[in-house]
Amino acid sequence: MSGPRLLLKSRRTAPLLLALAAISVVSRELSGQPLFIGASQPIPLPWPAVLPAITAYLTATAAWSTQPLLEHLAERRIDLYDLLYLTAVVSIGTVLVAWSAQPIIGDITELGAIRNYLGLLGYSLLGAAAFGLAMGWMIPTTLFTTGLVAAGTGSGLAALDWPARHDTEPTSWAISITLLAIGLVAFASPTRRRFHALRAARAEQD
């Protein structure tokens, strides 16, 4: 089986792209309303923060292989195809996030939503590489929530509260791009591929 055919066979492309499109449409309709988290004292989260977090994890899920062992044993490595595929999915995610956040006004508009999407994608890729896709949401969720809390307390720690900063704040963009680069390195790592292939092999033996 050729590299592109194997890659497309082992990815959840169609359902996740449909999910991304559906979330984008809903988010555009709700862009002016906050999402309230919590029961006793609900915390209002703006959609420019919520939408990129959901889209980033769906993007990481779309890029993750469902057949890591088969890819590891393939005659031709698909590393390059993998990165090209991820680039295509990220491009689609970026366009959808920008379109969904277009009606939003304030300190964080579509530009800030794109920044948050790219940084949170780095978190998502890193979390999936470290813990697997099923538990990969822990790192982005934990760090993202911590960042919003830090922004609410006015801590001024850019490394934490970068998602809540103004669209054009240079430090927040630098952190976002750095996180994305770290996530891409973790995603493309041969060690990560080998680890998940071996885990799949053990699962088949059980």
Query: What's the confidence (pLDDT) of residue 71?
Result: 61
Q: Which residues of the chain have pLDDT under 70?
A: 1-13, 31-49, 65-80, 190-206
Q: Is residue 37 part of a domain?
A: no
Whole-model pTM: value is 0.79
Query: What's the confidence (pLDDT) of residue 82?
Result: 75
Q: Is residue 157 part of a domain?
A: yes
Instruction: Please give the residue range of the domain that contains residue 155.
Output: 3-27+46-205
What is the domain count for the chain?
Answer: 1
Q: Is residue 103 part of a domain?
A: yes
Alpha carbon 190 to its chain's center: 20
Q: Is residue 130 part of a domain?
A: yes
How crowded is residue 18: how many other Cβ atoms within 10 Å of its Cβ?
10
Q: Is residue 38 part of a domain?
A: no
Q: Is residue 35 part of a domain?
A: no
Q: Is residue 17 part of a domain?
A: yes
